[in-house]
Homo-oligomer: A and B are copies of this chain.
Amino acid sequence: MKSDERLERYAELVVRVGVNLAPGQLLELTAFPEHVPLVRAIARAGYRNGARYVDVRYSDPHVRRAMIEHAADDVLSWSPPWLLRRMEDSGREQSGTVFITGEAEPELLAGLDGERVARAQPRELRELGLKIMNEAANNWTVVAYPNEGWARTVFGEPDVERLWEAVAHAVRLDELDPVAAWEAHLSRLEHRGEQLDDLGIDALRFRGPGTDLTVGLLAQSIWEGGWDVTSWGRQHAANVPTEEVFTTPDLRRTEGTVRSTQPLALQGTVVRDLELRFEAGRVVDVRASTGAEVIQGAIAVDEGAAYLGEVAIVDANSRVGETGLTFFNTLFDENAACHVALGAAYEVCVRDGRGHSPEEKRRRGINTSIVHMDFMIGGPEVEVDALTNDGSAVPLLRKNEWQLA
C-alpha cells in the first residue's frame, strides 16, 4: 500500500468508525503540529463524508513548555476563554470530535519542575471537557499519527515506516475491509463486557511481581467495551485502537500495592518503574525511577486524583499487544495490558450514574477529578481474578489468556 493511500484509508477509518460522522455535523480536530498530514487527510475525509465545517486546533507542546517554565503560578491552570467557548459550542452543537496523539518528544518536559508540570492543567477546560464527555454529547475518538519523533522514542531511530506498520496492524488498517473488521471486533468486546456483568463481580484482584492489588467495584458497576454511544444515539469508537473492557470501581475500596508493567508517557514526561500503595482507596505511597514528582503533583491536583476512577481488562488477543512494542503512548500501551486510572470515573460505567453532583458521586463511591491518568498493571506474569458476590474467585487472565468460556 502506498503511503498516501494508507493515510487516506486511515483518515476514512477515523471519520467513519472512530467518529462515525453524521452528515451535516461539525467535525473538530485537536492535534499537535507534527500531525499535519493526518489532520489534512481527516479534513478531506470529513468533507467527503458530509461534514458541514471542519475546525482544527493545533496545540503546541513547546509553547506549553515555555509557559510552564516562565508563567506566573496562577496562569498554569488558566483556561483561555476562547478555548472554553470552543468546547461549549462543541457540546451544544454535538460535534464530531477527533483528538490526535503521538508526541514527537514524549520527554519534552523532563528537567522542569515536576510540581509545576503537574499543575499545568487548564482547570476549567478539563472540568468542562469531562462534563461534556459524561453527557455523551459528542461522537468522539482518540487516534494517533506516526511521526519521526515518536518512532525515535519507540525504536531508538526515526523508523517511521516500522511504526506505521505497527499502528496499521493495531488499528486493523491491514484488513481488506477495515470498517467491517472493526464492527466484528467491537461486537466481540461488547460480548466480553456482558460476560463480566453476568459474573456478579465484587472486586478484582491483580497478583504478580510487585503487585497484590484488590480493586473493589460498585454494586452498580457496568462493564463497557466496544461501541460507545452518544446521548442522541450515535455509535462511535472513542479509542482507535481499543482492546479493553472497563468499568468504574468503588473509589473507597482499592487496597494493596501495584507495580506498573510499562513506562507511562504523560504529556512531556515519562514515568518509569511506577509503584503505588493504596489504603482505603487512596494512594498513600508513590515511587518511580523517573517522573515521580509529576505523579506526586498530579495526585495533589484535587481530592479525586489520588483515587481510582477506572479499571480495565486487556488480554493477549490485543492487536496492540501482538506488536510486542512499548509505544510510550497511552492510547496504545493501555490497549496492550490491563490498566487502572487515577482520577475521573466514567458515569456510563455506573447504573444510574449520570447527572449527579460531584458530592453525590463521591458519596456513591464514583470518583470525580480533573485528572484521568491511566497506567498499565497487566502482563503475562500478572494473574487477574474476579472475586464474585457469591464468595468465589474466578480466574479472568492467566499468562494474559482470557479464562472465561
Contact = CB atoms under 8 A, between A and B. Distances in A.
Contact of A54 (B36, B44, B53, B67): B67
B80 A67 contact: no
A62 interface: yes
B89 A82 contact: yes
Contacts of A63: 39-40, 43, 54, 56
A74 to B, nearest CB: 10
B71 A44 contact: no
Interface in A46-66: 46-48, 52-58, 60, 62-63, 66
Given A60-B36, A60-B40, A63-B43, A83 B80 contact: no
Given A44-B66, A54-B66, A71-B47, A60 B78 contact: no
A85 interface: yes
Taken together, the copies of this chain in the complex come to 2
A2 interface: no
A60 B55 CA distance: 10
Given A40-B66, A47-B67, A55 B72 contact: no
10 shortest interchain CB distances as A-B pairs: A47-B70, A82-B86, A58-B58, A40-B62, A85-B85, A82-B85, A43-B63, A43-B66, A33-B36, A82-B82
Nearest to A60: B56
Interface in A125-147: none
A39 B65 CA distance: 13
Nearest to A53: B75
A69 interface: yes
A81 B28 CA distance: 13
A52 B71 CA distance: 6
Given A52-B75, A85-B85, 14 more contacts: A36-B62, A40-B60, A40-B63, A43-B60, A43-B63, A48-B70, A52-B72, A53-B75, A54-B67, A56-B58, A58-B58, A80-B86, A80-B89, A82-B85
Contacts of A46: 66
Contacts of A70: 44, 47-48
27 contacts: A33-B33, A33-B58, A36-B62, A40-B60, A40-B66, A43-B60, A43-B63, A43-B67, A46-B66, A47-B67, A47-B69, A47-B70, A52-B71, A52-B72, A53-B67, A53-B71, A53-B75, A53-B80, A54-B67, A56-B58, A56-B63, A57-B57, A58-B60, A80-B86, A82-B86, A82-B89, A85-B85
